[in-house]
Structure 1
Amino acid sequence: MKNLNYSLALPAVLLVIVLLFLAAGFPTQSQAMTNVAMDFVTHWFGWLVELASLALVGFLFWLAFSKYGQIKLGNHAPQYSLFTYSGMIFTAGVGASLIYWGIGEPMSYLQSPPLFAQADSYTAAAWAVTYSMFHWGITGWAIYCFPAIPFAYAFYVKKQRSLKVSTLCESVIGKNPIAAKAIDLLAIFGTLAAFASSLSLTVTLLSAGAADLLGIHNSLALQGGIILLFVVVLVLVMLVDFNKGISKVSDYTVIAAIAFSLFLLFSTHPQFILNNITDSVGMMLDNFFRMSLWTDPVQQSGFPQSWTQYYWFWYYAYLIMMGLFITRISQGRSIKELILITISMGSLGCAFFITIFGGYAVWAQMLGGFPVQQWVSEGGLPFAVVSLIKTLPASSFVLGVFLIIQFFFMLTTMSSASVTTAMLTTNRLELNGDPDNKVKLLWAGAIALISFSVFLAGGGISTIKSLCVVAGLPMMFIFAILLKQLMSELHGLSDAKLVQLTKHSLN
């Protein structure tokens, strides 16, 4: 594969695998070190990530409605319909983790609530779905959205054929090969480690559900078989037609997930869930700025550090993957469309699923008599999610459908991860931004290998997740470099050039 940059690809994969096995070989020491690093990052820079992330939301809405928002990314018509485009962004950004944490987060917030509420109180219940919706809402999708703009502008407007992060940072860092390599490796590491941990979490859920459904032992062989199935299905999609195949998988998965959610809503307790949705939306609108900037300096409960700041740093570690994937599918869109569709459809989609699944979990624990928190403490969150799904009518059939939907949710995210890492490590991209299928397949296999290493390493995942959050701090500063570069490019446009770039999108 002549077009693959081996000097970036091999060190990144080896780094993740070595860290995993070091974490497994020295679990106590590695976890202690990463905990110290995480505490340092959140306690010294937590305030900064909250301020920067909130400011980013404001900046993106300003950019969307400014004169630069009409700039069209390429001269072609949009490649995908609005529904497919929105669905691909949504499924790439959430994977199967959304339902997992859509149930898990409210249960955690009931026991350890934010903003000085008492555990397992009615106030804690009111915050449970609200905070979950907030953490998967506008701010996170703004972080995901932003890097797509400088990447897409460079590729579709300036016609750059390489999308290494260091290339976009050259105006600030200069042609420093060491700094460039460090930036590129950090971007690939964040993508690989963050996605591998997400895939491992999904495989844990799928293996728990499959073991329960089939009456077999939840073993390493089952988990490895599920990871292999991901690779096999992704290869089949590539053989048919990767771009059309993944877009169709995304469409059908979103439709199936919406139908399943509506089934859960109307087959359980729609009155409670719908009232809880309204209450949670009102709570978030009323407290959005308080939640965005809460650092809890006096009581020091640790909630904003463990949740809000953790999420924001995680998004920064994951942002290159999302930025490049959105770039790949945004040809023909305007900057305004890219921003508004990503933020609105991403946050609304997450709110839809979280309020239904999270609302049902809150009802089940607080009013329904189901011991959801006990399921979490005794069997872990995957066991609790499976047990909650089994409370629905036709439990075995419904659980099977649920697992299939989760599988295809994660498959679309895996495809976006393979496309992204392929784009980052391709020396020269084609005009359509699509890397060679062999390179995408190579990265799909590498991601599967890393994810299986998580299970072989046994427990190393917590260390890798912590490192992802720590990696989010330097990525935040790289983010600032990209912002400076973008604004320099836009401010440097003459009026005539700006008219030329926007006239197609205004027609």
Structure 2
Amino acid sequence: MKNLNFELAIPAITLVITLLVISTLYPEQSQLLASNAMHFVTGWFGWLVELVSLALVGFLFWLAFSKYGSIRLGEEKKEHSNFSYGGMIFTAGVGASLIYWGIGEPMYYLQSPPLFAEPNSYAAAAWSATYSIFHWGVTGWAIYCFPAIPFAYAFYVQKKRTLRLSTLCGPVVGNNPIIAKAIDLLAIFGTLAAFASSLALTVSLLSTGVSALLGIKNSLLLQGSIILLFVLMLVAVMLVGFKKGISKVSDYTVVAAICFALFVLLVADSQFILNNFTDSIGVMLDNFFRMSLWTDPVQKSGFSQSWTQYYWFWYYAYLIMMGLFITRISRGRTIKEVILYTISMGSLGCAFFISIFGGYAVWAQLIGGLPVQQWMSEGGLTFAVVSLIQTLPSGNIGLVLFLIIQFFLMLTTMSSASVATAMLTTNKLELNGDPDHKVKLLWAGAIALISFSVFLCGGGIDTIKSLCVVAGLPMMFIYMILVKQLMMQLKGVNQIKTLEQYESINSETVKVN
């Protein structure tokens, strides 16, 4: 693996593992420290992340429909069909967390609703699915989307073969090697920590489901076996190749997930789900700016800090993973296509799944007489999700299908994380942007090892989740740097084109004379 940048890879992996070990040896102290750090970030910078994120949405839509939107990222043909392209972006961005939180968030919001609503009231029900769709909607996907533009522009237009975040920031912050190393390490740490906790959450859901199906104990051995299965499947996908591997797995998984969601819609109270979805969209459109900028400074309920700001910082921590993965699959597309496909396919796809699974959860709790909130209090959210899926007419067959879909959703996200971190730590990328297989497999193994360490460390997942939010703060400022850097590059191209046009016109004038 001569092409691997060990100076970035080893310290990043070591840092995450070290934090997990410390959280195991000193669980209460480390969790308290990480929690205090997260509260400091949201308390002092929560207002800023809301303003910056809303401004980023406006900037991306302006960029898409400006004269820069027609810039093509590479001269080659589009590598993937529109369906595959949208499907890979969607599965990379949501993983198995979407359905999990699509059920869980509305239940939490019913019990502790936003904007001064009474718990389990009509107002709380109106906000429940609305806020879930909002948190997985346009703003989050804008945060995911933006890094892909400067990365793709650097790789496909400027023909750079090293895609380090520090290289992109260089024209703005300078070329100080210490600052550059800190930026790259922070980016890798954010990706590893954020994804490791997401994978650990999915493994916990899968192990709970398998335990319920087979009547076996939900043990560390079962969780480790599921992680090992992830690694083996990922190796197979990587060896097959990007187009035949990740792309095909993504296509089939998206189709299967859509079919399963439509099945739930048909067998559940379809009328309630459809009406609840329409009402939620209306409530969100009516309150989008209120929700985007609500900080609750007087009542201080903590809702916006615990949910909205938490989500936004979490998305910023994924800068490298989503930016580089979207770059890898966007060859031949225009800037406008990248922006509109990412935001539309991502937010509409999330709204589709949340409206069905979240709507079913709200109906089950408020109308169907199913004790979803009681399941949550007794066995946690994973137990509640599995129990709710088992209430479908298909019973355990539906649960089996659900677990398989969850597995492959996370497998696609794991593939994306491996590709992105491999691209960042590769000294020189190939023309197709695909890192060496050995480097990708190394990162796949590292991610699996870190995820398994989360289970070994007991409460380490809470510490890592809090630190992801803390890591998202400097990433937010790096976004601002990338905006400035991108505009410097785009304006430079525009000036060059204008000069070429002027010289062409001047040349024609000379010929005429």
| TM range, smaller chain | over 0.9
Distance 1:373 1:73, change over 3 A: same
* Cα deviation, residue 495, structure 1: 5.2
Match of 1:199 in 2: 199
Partners of 1:304 and 1:395 in 2: how far apart? 37
Q: Deviations over 1:226-250 (max 9, x none)?
A: 0000010111112222332110100
The question of whether the paired residues in 1 share the 8 Å contact of 2:239 and 2:437 is answered with no
5+ residue gaps, structure 2, are 502-513
Counterpart mapping for 1:207-356 below 5 A: 207-356=207-356
The alignment's TM-score, normalised by the length of structure 2, stands at 0.96
Q: Structure 2: how far apart are the matches of 1:100 and 1:18?
A: 29
Separation in 2, partners of 1:174, 1:487: 17
Give the drift of 1:7. 0.6
Contact kept in structure 1, 2:99 and 2:357, CA below 8 Å? yes
Letter in 1 for 2:39: D
Name the counterpart of 2:109.
109
Superposed, which structure 2 residues align to 1:69-468 within 5 Å?
Answer: 69-468=69-468
CA drift at 1:69: 0.1
- Distance, in Å, in 2 between the alignment partners of 1:38 and 1:113 is 21
CA deviation string 1:375-425 (max 9, x = no partner): 001000110000000000121111000000000000000000000000010
What amino acid is aligned across from residue 331 of structure 2 in structure 1? Q
Task: Give the residue type in structure 1 aligned to 2:435.
Answer: P
CA distance in 1, matches of 2:200, 2:102: 17
Task: State the match for 1:6 in structure 2.
Answer: 6
Q: Answer whether contact 2:261 2:357 (CA < 8 A) is retained.
A: yes
Which has the higher Rg, Structure 1 or Structure 2? 2
Which residue number corresponds to residue 20 of structure 1?
Answer: 20
Contact 2:320-2:421 at 8 Å conserved across structures: no
The code of the aligned residue for 1:313 comes to F
Instruction: Supply the AA of the counterpart residue of 2:389.
Output: I
Question: Alpha carbons of 1:489 and 1:496: their partners in 2 closer, same or farther (altered >3 Å)?
Answer: closer
Deviations 1:92-120 (A, max 9, x none): 00000000000000000000000000011
How much has 1:498 moved relative to structure 2? 7.4
Q: Which runs of 5+ in 1 are unaligned?
A: 502-507
CA distance in 2, matches of 1:454, 1:32: 17
Aligned to 2:484: 484
- Say whether the 8 Å CA contact 2:273–2:355 is kept in structure 1: yes
In 1, Cα distance between equivalents of 2:275 and 2:379? 30
Return the alpha-carbon distance in structure 2 between the equivalents of residues 149 and 188 of structure 1.
19
Percent of paired sites with the same residue: 77
Structure 1 position 40, deviation (Å): 1.1
Question: Aligned partner of 2:349: which letter?
Answer: G
1:130-163 Cα deviation digits (max 9, x unpaired): 0000000000000000000000000000000000
Deviations 1:269-297 (A, max 9, x none): 00100000000000000000000000000
The alpha-carbon deviation at position 359 of structure 1 amounts to 0.3
Q: Residue type of the partner of 2:273?
A: I
In 1, the alpha carbon distance for the partners of 2:175 and 2:426 equals: 19
Quick check: 1:44 aligned with 2:44? yes
For residue 496 of structure 1, report the CA deviation from its aligned partner.
5.6
Q: In the alignment, is the contact (CA less than 8 A) between 1:71 and 1:498 conserved in 2? A: no
CA distance in 1, matches of 2:323, 2:149: 8
**Secondary structure of the structure 2 residue equivalent to 1:243:** coil
Write the deviation string for residues 242-276 of structure 1: whole angstroms up to 9, x where unpaired: 33211010000000000000000010100100000
Q: Is the 8 A contact 2:261 2:356 kept in 1?
A: yes
CA–CA distance in structure 2, aligned partners of residues 295 and 376 of structure 1: 27
CA gap of 1:77–1:53, structure 2 versus 1, over 3 A, is: same
- Tell me: CA distance 1:109–1:494, structure 2 relative to 1, closer, same or farther (3 Å): closer
Please provide the CA RMSD for this pair. 1.2
Q: Which amino acid aligns with 2:479?
A: F
1:504: which partner in 2?
A: none
Bigger shift: residues 256-265 or 167-176: 167-176
Which whole-Å CA distance do the structure 1 matches of 2:146 and 2:471 have between them?
18
The residue number in structure 1 matching 2:506 is: none
- In the alignment, residue 91 of structure 1 is paired with which amino acid? T
Task: Check the 8 A contact 1:142/1:343 in 2, yes or no.
Answer: yes
Cα 1:171–1:495 shift into 2, 3 Å: closer
Give the aligned residue type for 2:258: I
Amino acid at match of 2:154: A
CA distance in 2, matches of 1:466, 1:369: 35
Q: Which residue does the alignment assign to 2:55?
A: 55
Secondary structure of the 1:493 match is helix
Whole-angstrom CA distance in 2 between matches of 1:198 and 1:429: 28
Partners of 1:495 and 1:20 in 2: CA distance: 50
- Say whether the 8 Å CA contact 2:386–2:399 is kept in structure 1: yes
Shift in Å, 1:497: 3.1
Structure 2 letter corresponding to 1:421: T
